[in-house]
Amino acid sequence: MDTATQPKLLLTSVMRPIGPAYGDAESVGYELLHAQVTRAQGMFSPRAVHRQFSLDYMAENLENPTVVLHYPSRRELIKELKKGYEYVGISFIMVTYHRMKELSALVREHSPQSKIVLGGFGTVLPDEALTPYGDHICRGEGVAFMRDLLGQPPLAEHKHPFIESRLQVFSKTVSYTGMIFAGLGCPNGCDFCSTSHFFKRQHLRLLKTGADVYAVVERHLAANPDAQYTILDEEFLLNRDRALEFRDLVVKGGRPLSIFVFASFKALSLYTPEELLEMGVDGVWVGYEGERSGYEKRANSKSPEEIIGALKENGITVLASMIVGFDYQTPEIIKAEHKRLMALKPDLCQFMIYNPNPGTPLYDKVKAQNLFRKEFADNPEHYWKWASGFRSLTEHPHMTGPEIERMQEYCFEADFRELGPTIYRVAETMLNGYLKHKASPNPFLRLKAERFARELRATYPMYLPGELFAPTLRTRALVHRLKKRVYAEFGAPAFSNQFLKWGAVAAALWTSFKLRFNLFQNPALTRKGWRLPPEPFTREWLEAQLQKHNVPQRLSVLVEEYDGRRNQLKVRLEGALDRYHGEKLAEELRTYLKETKGKLVLDFERLKITEREAAAAFSQRLSEYRSRVSISLPRNAPAHAAQLMVMAEMFKYYKG
């Protein structure tokens, strides 16, 4: 399809800044872990920006020119709108309804010709609340809706986007996570669950087979062999055939993976811990909910105690989600259930208030029985804004709203005080898994143990902040004992670790300072285009310029990011570089450096032949930018070493 004749589409999240510091409800922000799980852990809280992944997924599966913005500022959004779009899609949730209204007004003002499409879980709200701010409302699966709106035929199979998320500890990136979109919806039908009832209790498989899931993993492995993964599917493990097909392919591939999944006790009971580890699953988010909640997903032959204990013994991290405010609960019951959960030593915990969302059976019950607290019954927009899981919205048989909210706060704080920072709890679970499987008769589980060992060795610098700043004397002692166990198993740290561990202390204090004064807590804009001509002097532009110089069977030119930053690019040359292409490539790179402030790594490691004049062209044309250029040379290249030595004297050497 000719994209030049297709309407231009802009898909965007709500604008930054958002969060409690800017008048939003508790837990509203850019992060799931820090906002809803490790929120009481301060400097120790792992940090990861939660992008609106659905927008990238839709853009990947349309045919028209599309731009996606994640968390633009007001100025950035207006600048983008002025480029002219026939359609603007806004993704929002119920608690950011007021933010959607602000964004819609800016579209009407600065791009009045644009048709506005509203999407996301916020569309559970009634039409009369949405139609003043949008021309179309997307409810349900977005790709099919947008393709129909844009006059594009249905897709038999979706394309999967390549998306990575970055996890930081003490303000330092410690891992990259490939996001795998395997399914939508959930068949369990818990009465409070928007995910389940938004899709009518149906499970929509985006990746239909285990082979489809593994194909996405392979793409990530090619780009980053050390990547971790999150499978976004409420019940990935419930379909045992798909999961075991995936397991077989992982084992056949010979590389142990690290995957986080969402699961119920019902689904987890279908597997042994060894089967989970073989498929790469070493982290699960499980709904502990309440002991008397009565949900079917808790009902099986194994108790939560048995399942969680077996998972942690084998090195599988557990994030347990508990609900506060069920009708049967009192403060005493909540404390008793919390105590029993703490005895299981989950690595992470989420505590959310039992609240109704439109479209769920709980909402219907609350409306029918007139159970909304008066302030929310009288003002629906007030209810929508504060329904984030951290405000009690309904009348309760035994507790006031403030009592429920205090019990939720108690749960988070007691979790931190009793079990300590999550990062050390996860390390201890990994150590258990390593000890369990380092001598396993299963060779693949021995490989998994080796992966645990590599990750544990990387934790050496992080123990000192825990020994100094963990919340209680007891938790500091727990960190100290864990450190001793790790050292006993893997050896004492090298002398250089002395500098690293004090650097970690400085990083932890810097993280605490930023949190205390709300500094640097808003992410930068992420912008990506599909089926658009590249903007001048971007990575995509440089890639297009250099691709012209590829010579089949002779010279390959690749452009990629390094250090995860778009202003630092690596240009890799493979094959033979002659004078003509050397001069042309050097001139293209000189133009890029002249027009930008970016840095370049020139990777010549895979060059087999380099003509003297080609090397000279790089030296001459890039000499004035030598402070921004690094090179990587072949290790064994006697045939052209002399030609490359000229560049080695001029440019910094890059150690990748």
* Residues forming CATH 3.40.50.280 domain(s) in the chain: 3-149
Say what the pLDDT of residue 1 is.
Answer: 55
Q: At 640, is the pLDDT very low, low, confident or very high (cuts 50, 70, 90)?
A: low
Q: What is the pLDDT of residue 239?
A: 93
Q: Is the separation of the CB atoms in 557 and 571 below 8 Å?
A: yes
Percent of the chain whose pLDDT exceeds 70: 96
Q: Which residue has the higher pLDDT, 273 or 224?
A: 273
Question: Average pLDDT, stretch 164-186?
Answer: 94
Judge whether residue 264 has pLDDT over 60.
Answer: yes
Beta pairing partners, 10? 67, 88
Report the candidate in 177, 256, 244, 175 with the shortest Cα–Cα distance to residue 213.
Answer: 244
pLDDT at residue 651, as a whole number: 84
pLDDT of residue 206: 92
Angle between helices 240-253 and 210-223 (to 10 degrees): 40
CA distance 38 to 565: 27
Mean pLDDT, residues 196-206: 82
| Length of the chain, in residues | 656
User: 3: pLDDT confidence band, cut at 50, 70 and 90?
Assistant: low
Taking the CA of residue 614 as centre, how many other CA atoms within 13 Å lie in the half-sphere pointing to its CB? 20
359: left (phi over 0), alpha (psi -120 to 50) or beta: left
Residue 194 — very low, low, confident or very high, per pLDDT cuts 50/70/90? confident
- The Cα–Cα gap between 460 and 456 comes to 7
Q: Summarize the confidence of residues 384-391 as an average pLDDT.
A: 96
What is residue 562's predicted lDDT score, i.e. its pLDDT?
Answer: 62
Q: How many CB atoms lie within 10 A of CB 96?
A: 26
Decide: residue 217, CB within 10 A, 0-12 exposed, 13-18 middle, 19+ buried. buried
Q: Is the pLDDT of residue 552 over 90?
A: no
pLDDT at 309: 97
For residue 89, the cross-strand partners are 11, 117
- DSSP class of residue 291? T
CA Rg, the chain, in Å?
27
Residues whose CB is less than 8 angstroms from the CB of residue 386 and which lie 6 or more positions away in sequence, other chains included: 25, 95, 376, 393
Please give the pLDDT value at position 118: 98
Q: Are 38 and 47 in contact (CB under 8 A)?
A: no
Considering the chain, tell me which residue range(s) the CATH 3.30.750.24 domain(s) occupy: 534-653
Q: pLDDT for 508-518, tens place per residue?
A: 999 999 999 99
With tokens 């007004």, the residue in question is 105
Domain 164-416 annotated CATH 3.80.30.20: yes
Containing 145, the helix (H) or strand (E) segment is: helix 142-149
3-state secondary structure of 607: strand
> What tokens does 162 get?
């390549």
Span 438-473, pLDDT tens digits: 999 999 999 999 999 999 999 999 999 999 999 999
Supply 506's token pair: 């400085």
Q: How far apart are CA 458 and CA 290, in angstroms?
A: 36
Average pLDDT score, the chain: 93
Band (643; pLDDT cuts 50, 70, 90)? low
Q: What is the mean pLDDT of residues 62-91?
A: 97
What is the C-alpha to C-alpha distance for residues 433 and 435, in angstroms, rounded to an integer?
6
Output 597 or 340, whichever has higher pLDDT. Answer: 340
Average pLDDT rounded to a whole number, residues 280-304: 88
What confidence tier does 636 reach under pLDDT thresholds 50, 70, 90?
low
Which has more pLDDT, 578 or 347? 347
- Which pLDDT score, from 0 to 100, does residue 185 have? 86
- Within the chain, all domains assigned CATH 3.80.30.20 are found at 164-416
Q: Residue 346 has what DSSP assignment?
A: -
The confidence band for 120, taking pLDDT boundaries of 50, 70 and 90, is very high
How far apart CA 22 and CA 515 sit, in angstroms, is 15
Q: What are residue 495's DSSP bridge partners? A: none
Cα angle 4, 6, 8; round to 5? 95
| Residue 323 neighbours by CB under 8 Å, 6+ apart | 192, 289, 290, 293, 351, 352, 353, 354
Helix axes 53-60, 142-149, angle to 10 degrees: 50
How far is it, in rounded angstroms, from Cα 111 to Cα 88?
A: 9
Which CATH architecture group holds 534-653?
2-Layer Sandwich (3.30)
Are 134 and 105 contacting, i.e. CB atoms less than 8 angstroms apart?
no
Query: Looking at the domain covering 3-149, what would its CATH class be?
Result: alpha beta
